[in-house]
Chains A and B, each alone.
Chain A
Amino acid sequence: MAYAHAAGAHDDLAAHEEHRPHGWRRWVYATNHKDIGTMYLVFAGIMFFIGGFLAMLIRLELFKPGLQFFDPLFFNSLTTMHALIMIFGAIMPAWTGLANWQIPMQVGAPDMALPRLNNFSFWILPFAFTLLLATFFVPGGAPAGGWTMYPPLMLQGGAAFPMTIFAIHLMGASSILGSMNVIVTILNMRAPGMTLLRMPLFVWSWLITAYLLIAVMPVLAGAVTMLLTDHFFGTTFFTAAGGGDPVMFQHIFWFFGHPEVYILILPAFGIISEIIPTFSRKPIFGYEAMVYAIASIAFLSFIVWAHHMFTVGMPLAGQLFFMLTTMLIAIPTGVKVFNWCATMWKGSLTFEPPMLFAVSFLFLFTIGGLSGVMLAIVPADFQYQDTYFVVAHFHYVLVPGAIFGIIGGVYYWLPKWTGRMYDQTLGKWHFWLSAIFVNVLFFPQHFLGLAGMPRRIPDYAVQFTDWNMVSSIGGFGFGLSQLLFPYLIWKCIKHGTPIGNRAWEGAHGLEWELPSPPPFHSWETPPSEAVLAHAAVH
C-alpha cells in the first residue's frame, strides 16, 4: 500500500525535491540518507586524519630511545586519544555512513526508515568529539589511562575524566540510534521480493552489527557511569577498600569490548563480500554459509571477553573456557576466508582499486587472524599479553582489516555516489603505498613484542631501537600516503569522467540498477521482480 502510494505520488515527490532545504540547512536539517551518509563519511575522514596525526606523534617519540618530544603523561594521552578517536570517531561513523548510503539502495527503499532519528544520531557526534578533543586543553590534559579506562588509574584523571565519560555517553547514544535505524530499515523497508536471504552480504553484516551495537553500547555506558559515580558520588563499585572490585570493571568493559571489535570488522566482511564477487565476475561462494558465519562470530563474541585479561588471576576453569571459546572463533572466520578464496577460484579477475584493497585485506586480515589464534593459547598469552605483539595483532585486523574495508568500499561505490569514475592510477598508487607501508609499520611490532617490549611505553631499552625505527618510518609513510585519498575524491567530484548505472562490469546488486548518481529518494517505486532478478547477488 505504502509503495503504491509512493508510486502514485511520484510527481509530488519530484516537486517536493525542489523544496528541500539548500545551503547550510541541507546539512543541518538533513533527513536524506545520502546527505547524512556523506556527513558521516566526511566526519569519519576528519577523525581518521586527527587520530592518524596522533599516531604519527606516537611513532615520532618512539623513533629512538630517550624522550625527545613529550612528557610521558602526554604520551599516554596520545595513545588513549588515538584509540578513542579511531574506534569511535573514524571506523564506527565510517560504517554508519556506508550503511546510510548503501542500505536503502541495496534493499530497494527510498530512504532510511527513521530520517529524523538519522539526523539526530549524526549530529550528536560533532558535539561528542568536540567535548573529547577539548580535553587536550583542560587542566591535567587529555585522558591518559588508556582507551580501556581501567580503574583505579582512570579515577586519577583530572578535568578530562567527566568530559571523556560524557563524550562516550554521547557516542553510545549515537551508535544505538543509528543501529535502530539500520534494523528498522532492513526489516521493514525491503522491496517486495527482497527476502532476507536475497539481501547483499553488506546488508547482512550490518544487520548483525546493529544488533551487537544495541546489545553492548549500554554495557559500556553502564561501566563508565559506575566510574563516574565512583569518582564523584562516593560509590565503590571498583574500589576494593569499599567492597568493590577493580577487575569487575574489566569484565564489564570487555563484555562490551569484544563484541565491539566485531562491530568494527563485520561490516568489512560485508564489503569484501561485495567487492570480490564483482571483480571475480562470479557470485559469492557459499552465500548462506557466509551469513551463518557472521551470525556465529557475533554469537561467539559474547562469550570470549575474558581472553583480554588472562593475567588478572582467573581460576583454571575460567582460563580454559575462554581459551576454547576464543579458538572456536577461528572456525567461522576460516569459513569466510575460504569462501572468499573459492569465490576468486575459477573467476575472471581484474584488479581495480577496490579489488586491490579487498585482496590485501584477505592476506593481511588472515595474518591478524592467525596471530589471534596464537594469542588465544593462554600459556603463550602470559608472554604476549600487553606487549607489542598484541599491538601488532589488533592493528593488523583494524588497519588492513577494518580501514582497508572502508577504503575499498569507498573506491567501490564512489562512482555510484558521484556519477563519475575516479583516477584509477592514483587509486593504485594509494593502494600500493598503503599496503607496503602498513606492513613496514606493523610487522616489526610482532618482533618487538616477542622480544619483550611492553605496549603503552613512551621510551624503551636500546635493543628495541632498530625495529622501532623501521616501524616509525612505516608509520610516517602510511600516514602521508593517506593524503592521496581526499585529493582523489576531490578530483573525482570535480573532474571525474561520467559513468553509467553500472560502474564495474561484474557488479550486481540493486544499487547498480539506479542511475549514477542515484536520485535523491533512491527507490521511489520498488524495483520489479525482473529488476530484482537482474540484480541478484547470488
Chain B
Amino acid sequence: MNVAETIKEKKHREFLSTNTDFEVRSLDTMCVNESELKHPVWHNLKYLAMGILFGIILVKSEVISWFRIQEMFRLQSFHMYGVIGSAVIVGIISVWLIKKFKIKTMYGEAIEFVPKKFNKGNIYGGLIFGFGWAMTGACPGPLFAQIGTGASVIFITLLSAIAGTWVYGYLREKLPH
C-alpha cells in the first residue's frame, strides 16, 4: 500500500467523523451517499442507467405486480420469496467480498458501510409500511415502476407517499423512536 492511499483513507475517515450533514442522514436513511468526491452532474447518468436496469428487472420479474404482492402475503406462491431471498444472498456475498478484499470504488475511495442503530421506528414504521405495501401492492421502487408502465393513477399514490414522508418529518420529534 502506498502512502498517498493511506492519506486519502485518513482524510476520508476524518470527513466521515466531522461531516454533520452525514451525521443527520446516517440516523435516518439507508440510502446515502458516502462519497465526498465532487463530480460533474453528468456523472449521475450512471445511476440513471442503473435505475433503468432496475426498472426493467422489476417489470420482467413481476415483483411490482399488485397480484404478486397479494400472493406473497397469502403464502400462495414462492416467487416473491425467491426473488427477495436470492437478492439478499447475492447481496450478502457481494458485501462480504468487498469487505474481505477491501475493494475500492472506481475512483479509488474506500467503500463505507454505516451500521444502523436500532430504534422503535424500525418496528412501528415497518408495520405501517407493511400495511401500505399490501394495499398499494408497491414499495417505493415499484411505485416509480408502476407509473412507468402507464398506470398513471399511481402518480397520486406517489404524491401521497411524498406527503406521508413529509408528515413523518413534521411529526418526527413527537413520535416514539
- The reply to whether chain A is a binding partner of chain B is no
